[in-house]
Amino acid sequence: MKDPIYRLARRLNPALETLTGQRRMGATADVFTWLYTLPLALAALGWLAVASDWQAAAQNWLVLALTAVLVYLFNRLSFFLITEIRSGGYANTQGALDDMALWAAVLLVGPVALWIEVAANLLTFIRGMRGAFNATARWSQLRIFTANLASNVLSFLPALLLYRTLGGTLPMADLNLGTALTGMAAILMQFIFRFIIYSGYIGYVVWGLKYNLSADPRPALMFFVYAFALPALANPFGILAAALYVEQGPALFTFDMIGLLLVAFLARRLSQAAEVSRQQSRQLGQLEQLSRALLGGPPDASTLPELLNQYVPNMFARGSIAIWVEPERMLLMAPEEWSVALGPAWNWLRTQTAESFFLVNDPLPWEEKLANHPALVLAPILNVDTGRPFGVVYLELQALGLPWDANTIRALLPAVQSLSAQVASALHQAHVYQESLSLQKTLQEIHLARSIQASFLPENLPQLPGWSLAVTLEPARQMAGDFYDFIPLPEGRLGIIIADVADKGLGPALYMALSRTLIRSYAEQFPTEPARVLEASNRRILTDARANLFVTVFYGVLDPISGSLAYANAGHTPPYLISPNDGEPETQTLRNTGMPLGIDEESTWRQEMAEMHPGDVLLLYTDGVTDAQNSRGEFIDRRFIVDVACRNLAGPVGEIQQAILNEVHGFVGDAPRFDDITMVILGREPISPIPPAMGAAHRPPLPAGKGG
């Protein structure tokens, strides 16, 4: 920064290096103004000490006592002016009618009345220094103290010289046109001198705005004009008040001042209402712009910090704000040079669900010792789903003309609440968006896995002369735990598998793929020994997989020539072998010959034999068929599968399968299905009768053992 005043001020206040923008310029102006007003203030005190008539003060103690009370009351009822001199940059000043009371006292007693102003400035300075919580705030108090002493005391003394030069008397004798004009001239000179004393401060601020911040200085100039002119408009009434005291006594003087106190009270309330309304309008405008920007931004909230930095710092006049969310993510810290340790405050706030505020130097529940601090507002950012805090909006309200009392902060709370709600909503939307992306990715992966799983199933059914097959697999979820397979074996044999992995979903589907691969591998090694295939597969499953799952398997080896079926049943729902038997079907249950695979590495299985004759039907199924449940919680009768098959035994196996499915679906209705439905139906075609005209000699020869 090519600013010699800043370089000089930085030597006295090194904290300037931590500030940026308008805050640095304002803090530099504080140091600079203190430097040139300090000698002026000391000169004013020396001049006042020489000019004071303490005998007159003793004689007019009532006037001085009334003036001291009035100065105190008028300062308590000060009005304020806050102006945005650049985007997001504010200037503020307080105005009071105390100068009017001082003019009345000076015209009645003389310069000695100005010691009341000195005492008032000193008390204000002490109170301000006690509340200053950093070096910048202390320098601001120093600047206010010396500048006010210089402007309020030093400007009065030459004005009184002019008053006497023009013929005015102290104390004022009476009120006439000449006295009024003389007093007005003195008041005008005081205003000019005060402006001259402050011209260094004004000039540096205007220069800094134009050359350091590249901002239009005209709003700042208009602000200073208003700041000096508005309080001075009441000073001529000090002449009238002094005349009332001289001519009518203290009673009418006091009555007049009470009326002016009411005017000051109304001016204060009006300025408060106007400022609160202005701030709320700005906050609503910024919140609306932020809301639109969030709606138009990417759904993953990647631009949230940028948008908060764009719209939030200007939302609260002269406020320092931090927005933080777990885990350790700072979304906004403004201004940039400001820093705050949020850990202790967050540990306390995480147990709260409502906004909290603390006035200047109120005890803080997360601090063991009482510490100086500005007014604070803390708003939790609540999780949309759980309602629990997962972040905080932390707002420090710096000193402005507007007093940060309970009422003004309560007027601020709706904007802070809305801001925290917008942040929570944006982060919730981002979370939902990420979950949607994850779900979409998962669904894509499941779709791919389902396609891969489907590729494990036979693409075409084996074509066996004299035999027919029908199969179905209806997954209860995206991924099935059931599977079936047909394995071509040497000498025309066919391996038939139906299996059911415990549980459903992606994990069981992977377990199914492993089991199928192992059974297929060992089926080729032991083509006529289903029991040995299951034993070898079981040992390998327990060696390779640690999923705490098991699989029930029925594995049979069919000799299509003879119709013999060698099988082993590893805990699977027993298939049914149904024979027509001259119109009265008979049922044989192919019961378990051992426990499911994946439980005990030392398990063994028996191998059994069954014979399929022409017209016989073998029903293989999983428990999704026989454990079907309706919306009332009722289970289907396990014998229905045999009954339906027997009723449709004369038809093709495809019709038997469809009839069973219709029965299951009709029973379940709209109830959710909890298990896969898998069926393999194998039928040996009956022998067609020989037409009488052909005779036995014309039967086509059949291989031995094929039948008929």
Cβ distance 114 to 153 under 8 Å? Answer: yes
Phi, psi angles (nearest 5°) of residue 101: -65, -35
Q: Which of 432, 465, 490 is the last residue of a domain?
A: 432
pLDDT at position 302 is: 87
CA distance 326 to 333: 15
Q: Average pLDDT over the chain, rounded to whole? A: 85
CA distance 332 to 335: 9
- Is residue 138 one of the residues assigned to a domain? yes
Which CA distances in Å does 20 have to 1, 85, 130?
Answer: 11, 16, 25
**Short-list 394, 554, 385, CA closest to 483:** 554
| Residue 272, both tokens | 């408060």
CATH of the domain at 146: 1.10.1760
Cα-trace Rg, the chain: 48
> Which residues are CB-neighbours of 339 under 8 A, at least 6 positions away?
333
* Position 105, amino acid: A
- Is residue 440 one of the residues assigned to a domain? no
CA distance 614 to 502: 35
548 has pLDDT over 90: no
CA atoms within 13 Å, Cβ hemisphere of 157: 21
CA-based end-to-end distance of the chain: 110
| Residue 107, both tokens | 């015209």
| C-alpha 540 chain-centroid distance | 51
Q: Of 246-255, 272-281, 381-390, 591-600, give the range with the top mean pLDDT.
A: 591-600
Of 101-110, 263-272, 650-659, least confident by mean pLDDT is 263-272
Residues pairing with 589 in the sheet? 576
Same domain, 527 and 385: no
| pLDDT tens-place string over residues 418-471 | 999 999 998 888 888 888 887 777 667 666 666 666 666 787 899 999 999 999
| Residue 139, both tokens | 């320098």
- Is residue 227 one of the residues assigned to a domain? yes
pLDDT at position 215 is: 82
Q: Which of 202, 224, 248 is the last residue of a domain?
A: 248
Work out the average pLDDT over 547-568.
92
> Which residues are CB-neighbours of 65 under 8 A, at least 6 positions away?
none
Same domain, 179 and 291: no
CA distance 165 to 652: 132
CA distance 9 to 32: 6
37 vs 174: which has the higher pLDDT = 37
- Is residue 499 one of the residues assigned to a domain? yes
pLDDT at position 707 is: 33
Same domain, 241 and 333: no
Same domain, 473 and 398: no
Which CA distances in Å does 677 have to 115, 448, 483, 501, 672?
Answer: 101, 21, 10, 12, 13
Residues pairing with 497 in the sheet? 485, 555
Give 432-443 as a DSSP string. HHHHHHHHHHHH
CA distance 54 to 59: 9
pLDDT at position 408 is: 82
Residues pairing with 323 in the sheet? 332, 393
CATH of the domain at 525: 3.60.40.10
pLDDT at position 667 is: 86
Same domain, 638 and 569: yes
Cβ distance 71 to 102 under 8 Å? Answer: yes
CA distance 240 to 627: 104
Q: Which of 432, 465, 496 is the last residue of a domain?
A: 432
- Give the largest Cα separation in the chain, rounded: 161
> DSSP state, 210?
I
Going by pLDDT thresholds of 50, 70 and 90, the confidence category of residue 87 is low
Whole-model pTM: value is 0.60
* Position 115, amino acid: W
Peptide bond into 327 cis (omega under 30): yes
* Position 106, amino acid: V
- Is residue 617 one of the residues assigned to a domain? yes
Which range of residues forms the domain containing residue 181? Answer: 4-248
| pLDDT tens-place string over residues 165-194 | 998 888 888 888 888 899 999 999 999 999
CA distance 310 to 307: 5
pLDDT at position 693 is: 43
pLDDT at position 128 is: 83
Work out the average pLDDT over 281-285.
83
Cβ distance 12 to 38 under 8 Å? Answer: no
CA distance 560 to 706: 8
> DSSP state, 465?
T
pLDDT at position 670 is: 79
CA distance 582 to 566: 26
CA distance 437 to 316: 36
CATH of the domain at 307: 3.30.450.40
| pLDDT tens-place string over residues 316-332 | 866 789 999 988 788 99
Same domain, 600 and 663: yes
Same domain, 476 and 394: no
- Is residue 673 one of the residues assigned to a domain? yes
Looking at beta carbons, which pairs linking 3-12 to residues 24 or more positions away fall under 8 Å? 3/28, 3/208, 3/212, 5/32, 5/204, 8/32, 8/35, 9/35, 12/139
Work out the average pLDDT over 235-250.
89
| Residue 656, both tokens | 């038997």
Work out the average pLDDT over 675-702.
63
Same domain, 467 and 426: no
Helices (H) and strands (E) in the chain, counts: 20, 17
Work out the average pLDDT over 663-692.
80
* Position 339, amino acid: S
Structure-derived torsion over alpha carbons of residues 590, 593, 598, 599, reported in degrees to the nearest 10: 130
CA distance 128 to 150: 18
What total number of domains does the chain contain?
A: 3
CA atoms within 13 Å, Cβ hemisphere of 334: 23
CA distance 484 to 495: 10
Peptide bond into 171 cis (omega under 30): yes
Same domain, 363 and 470: no
CA distance 333 to 347: 19
| Residue 220, both tokens | 């700042």
**Short-list 436, 435, 391, 433, CA closest to 300:** 433
Same domain, 564 and 658: yes
Q: Of 111-120, 266-275, 397-406, give the range with the top mean pLDDT.
A: 111-120
Burial class (CB in 10 A: 0-12, 13-18, 19+), 240: middle
- Is residue 256 one of the residues assigned to a domain? no
113 has pLDDT over 80: yes
- Is residue 254 one of the residues assigned to a domain? no
Same domain, 529 and 661: yes
> DSSP state, 560?
T
Which CA distances in Å does 345 have to 366, 384, 392?
Answer: 6, 22, 9
pLDDT at position 700 is: 36
670 vs 467: which has the higher pLDDT = 467
Same domain, 75 and 160: yes
CA distance 425 to 301: 10
Cβ distance 202 to 213 under 8 Å? Answer: no
Percent of the chain at pLDDT > 70 equals 91
